Amino acid sequence: MKLKNKTAKHLLTGSLLAASLAMAGSAQAFTVISFGGANGDALQEAYYTPFASSTGTDLTPGDYNGEFARIRAMVETGNVSWDLVEVESPELIRGCFEGLFEPIDWEKLGIKDQLISPAVTECGVGMFVWSTVLAYDADRLEKAPQSWADFWNVEEFPGKRGLRRGAKFTLEFALMADGVPANEVYDVLATPAGVDRAFAKLEEIQDHIQWWEAGAQPPQWLVAGDVVMSSAYNGRIAVAQEEGRNLAINWSGSVYDLDYWAIVQGSNNADTAYDFIRFASQPENQAEYSKRIPYGPVTPEALAQLPEDQAMRMPTNETNLEGALAVNTEFWVDYGEELEQRFNSWASQ
């Protein structure tokens, strides 16, 4: 009986030790979270695989849909399983304010002077520049829409339109369609009259709108013929074009911003995160990323390494920036919650 108990005790001890080692190995894995999709594929090929191969790092990629509450819950409970996350600019500022992201030690990182200025922030390092553009099916429209005013013109351009289900970007487009110059949009939108004006403009085409919630939907809907034009992320349209779809982009009135790398507060792999960010910010690696999906590099040297035809598809191309609107992150941090609530109430009517 004693022998059996002793044997069982050894077996139990061995099992617990193996489990502990497995947990320790898992804890040491470096976890990088992105928005996935075509962008996730590009990140894997340009950054994840080469970094893991060259450093021997156990890198575990994952994706999410920007669920800020998940990051907050990890930090508040001390159960941090994500090390590095891709975040949009308003969430970066909010997370930095709430202490959810580690402040960046730019001296330690050592690449501050290599990046465009918007890529350098207190808690985040710019990944790429992206745009939300007016995309359309060139096979279904006899003439190309030239502006958001054309997007609103259902008589000359009949058919359903796709817009992102949310206040952000949608209200900017509505004001530009109503004749507000891009450089005045946020001044107007910061007033009660401006907000009313944007919603009134949306009501003009409410019956013609098909709301999208995921970046993959606009190109899918355009290809399927569900909509004739849509707001869309430029990279998603580019992927469809490369697959032989006759989709086109009008860059005038596009809205552009950056996504950022942010280190989750409490990560046990902060040093590895710095190594990875430094690796992913090198011009040659940025160029490899932008070759796979046309989001603009944050290192100017990378743009020069791209073939001319690919450089012309970037949001950072000078021609594409003409008439474009930079997202006012502080505006959306200050007014975003209120405007999103009003939008959701309006859209559910």
pLDDT averaged over the chain? Answer: 90
Which range is most confident: 50-54, 240-244, 303-307? 50-54
> So what's the pLDDT on residue 338?
94
DSSP letter (8 states) at residue 296: B
Q: What percent of the chain has pLDDT over 90?
A: 77
> So what's the pLDDT on residue 1?
38
If pLDDT is split at 50, 70 and 90, which confidence band does 9 have?
A: very low
If pLDDT is split at 50, 70 and 90, which confidence band does 38 have?
A: confident
Cα 63 from chain centroid (whole Å)? 11
Residue 158 has pLDDT above 70, yes or no: yes
Residue 2 has pLDDT above 50, yes or no: no
Residue 17 has pLDDT above 80, yes or no: no
Rounded to whole angstroms, what are the CA distances from 62 to 36, 101, 300?
Answer: 7, 18, 28
The answer to pTM > 0.95 is no
Structural domains of the chain sorted by starting position, each given as residue range(s) with its CATH number in brackets = 29-129+258-318 (3.40.190.10), 132-255+319-347 (3.40.190.10)
If pLDDT is split at 50, 70 and 90, which confidence band does 8 have?
A: very low
Region 57-76 average pLDDT: 92
Residue 58 has pLDDT above 80, yes or no: yes
Q: What is the dihedral of CA 113, 118, 122, 125, to 10 degrees?
A: -70
Q: Which of 1-15, 64-78, 215-229, 253-267 bottoms out in mean pLDDT, i.e. has the lowest?
A: 1-15
Residue 322: burial class (beta carbons within 10 Å; 0-12, 13-18, 19+): exposed
pLDDT per residue as tens digits for the range 334-345: 998 899 999 999
pLDDT per residue as tens digits for the range 177-219: 999 999 999 999 999 999 999 999 999 999 999 999 988 899 9
Distance from first CA to last CA of the chain, Å, rounded?
73
